[in-house]
């Protein structure tokens, strides 16, 4: 199982310093949406320079203009880009096509996607489907229950990721379950006193 560490809501200078520190420590470094929105493509280019060993995911959260945003994201250095499952099927299809052309990866963020919509967008073979609990919601999810339920509904989806308040116990339960490819951790690592030690703890349980 892979660990994705999300860097968010920092100045670009601080964020790039963290990315440099975590390069090679975590499997995937996520440049969070706040950095996309605050700094644009310049942030992707600086992250690409800092991230040489880990995979670089940019949490673009595309919801329209799929071809434009995905081309910009890959041209500026991303390995994986996110698109919202709530986007139109046409947007998802165009993002997938661009990702395939660049030999890169599309991750579908399933936040607020209905069961009905999910059925319509479940056919992107190489895409990673990310179960995502909105940070604005006050309720808490149990990650392994969420994965189990999803897997029961759509057993043919091979590549699964999960994000949203995941702690060490949650990560351990996901590792034991063995259905998830990527566990995404944000504040539980980035707000730790020693972030490299926190990454190490997560790597050990995964």
Asked if residue 203 lies in contact with residue 191, where contact means CB atoms within 8 angstroms, the answer is no
**Binding string, residues 73-112; x marks residues near a copy of itself by CB under 8 A:** -----------x-xxx-xx--x----------------xx
Alpha helices in the chain (DSSP H): 12-22, 33-39, 41-50, 66-75, 89-101, 115-120, 143-153, 168-177, 187-190, 195-205
Which helix or strand (DSSP H or E) is residue 105 part of? strand 105-109
* 177 lies in the binding site for a copy of itself (CB under 8 A): no
* 16 lies in the binding site for a copy of itself (CB under 8 A): no
Enumerate residues 46-65 that contact a copy of itself by CB under 8 A: 60-61, 63-65
Asked if residue 80 lies in contact with residue 57, where contact means CB atoms within 8 angstroms, the answer is yes
Q: Which residue has the tokens 């090679």?
A: 24
Tokens representing 32 are 């969070």
* 162 lies in the binding site for a copy of itself (CB under 8 A): no
* 37 lies in the binding site for a copy of itself (CB under 8 A): yes
* 24 lies in the binding site for a copy of itself (CB under 8 A): no
**Residue (60 or 79) nearer to a copy of itself, CB:** 60
**Which residues sit at the interface with a copy of itself, rule CB under 8 A?**
9, 33-34, 36-43, 60-61, 63-69, 72, 84, 86-88, 90-91, 94, 111-112, 114, 134-138
């Amino acid at each position: 199982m892979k660990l994705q560490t999300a860097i968010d809501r920092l100045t670009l200078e601080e964020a790039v310093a963290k990315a440099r520190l975590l390069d090679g420590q975590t499997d995937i470094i996520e440049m969070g949406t706040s950095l996309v929105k605050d700094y644009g493509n310049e942030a992707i280019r600086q992250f690409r320079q800092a991230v040489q060993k880990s995979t670089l995911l940019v949490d673009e959260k595309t919801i329209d203009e799929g071809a434009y945003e995905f081309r910009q994201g890959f041209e500026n250095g991303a390995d994986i880009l996110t698109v919202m499952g709530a986007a139109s099927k046409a947007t998802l299809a165009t993002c997938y096509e661009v990702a395939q052309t660049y030999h890169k990866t599309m991750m579908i963020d399933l936040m607020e996607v209905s069961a009905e919509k999910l059925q319509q967008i479940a056919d992107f073979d190489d895409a990673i489907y990310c179960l995502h609990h909105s940070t604005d919601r006050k309720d808490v999810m149990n990650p392994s229950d969420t994965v189990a339920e999803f897997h029961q509904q759509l057993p043919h989806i091979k590549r699964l990721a999960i994000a949203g308040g995941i702690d060490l116990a949650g990560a351990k339960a996901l590792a034991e379950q063995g259905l998830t490819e990527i566990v995404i951790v944000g504040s539980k690592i980035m707000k730790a006193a020693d972030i490299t030690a926190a990454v190490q703890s997560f790597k050990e349980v995964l």
